Amino acid sequence: MGLYVHVTYTGGGEDPLTETVHETTGDLFRSLAGIDKARPWEALGRCIGKVYVTRTDGEDVQRGWVFVARNPEPVNRGDEQPTGLREAWVTVHDAPPTVTTEYHYHSF
């Protein structure tokens, strides 16, 4: 069972939570940073920082990375994708979120 990633791009847009083939954060990082040449389609650019989340006890813990890369030139489909740098904020998850159902029965 692999790790899951959620990617949010600056300027709008995001990728849904996706399961990866990577079992460790080291393998995942090398793939996302473009170091793993066997999986070039996963590369998001150069790592420029980490994503932190504040826990309920007030401590900040790392939950992912921030990558930056140049946007590709617009494709000849009429889309007006801006050129320049694009940041990708990646959070890493062990499993997809769980949803619980609670029934609220009426009392008679």
pLDDT by residue (tens digit) across 22-47?
999 999 999 999 888 888 888 899 99
* DSSP designation for 58: S
User: Do 43 and 32 contact (CB within 8 A), yes or no?
Assistant: yes
Q: What integer pLDDT is reported at residue 41 of this predicted model?
A: 81
1 or 74, which is more confident? 1
pLDDT of residue 12: 80
Where do we find the tokens 């150069």?
46
Predicted confidence (pLDDT) at residue 15 exceeds the cutoff of 70: yes
Would the pLDDT of 8 be above 60?
A: yes
20, 2 contact by CB (below 8 A): yes
pLDDT for res 85: 84
Structural contact between residues 93 and 17, judged by C-beta atoms closer than 8 angstroms: yes
- Count the helix, strand and coil residues of the chain and give each as a percent rounded to the nearest 5: 10, 40, 50
**DSSP-derived 3-state class of residue 9:** strand
Express each pLDDT in 48-104 by its tens digit. Answer: 999 999 999 999 999 999 999 887 665 555 556 566 788 999 999 999 989 898 888
Residues 108 and 100: their CA atoms lie apart, in Å, by 25
By the 10 Å C-beta count (0-12 exposed, 13-18 middle, 19+ buried), 63 is classed as middle
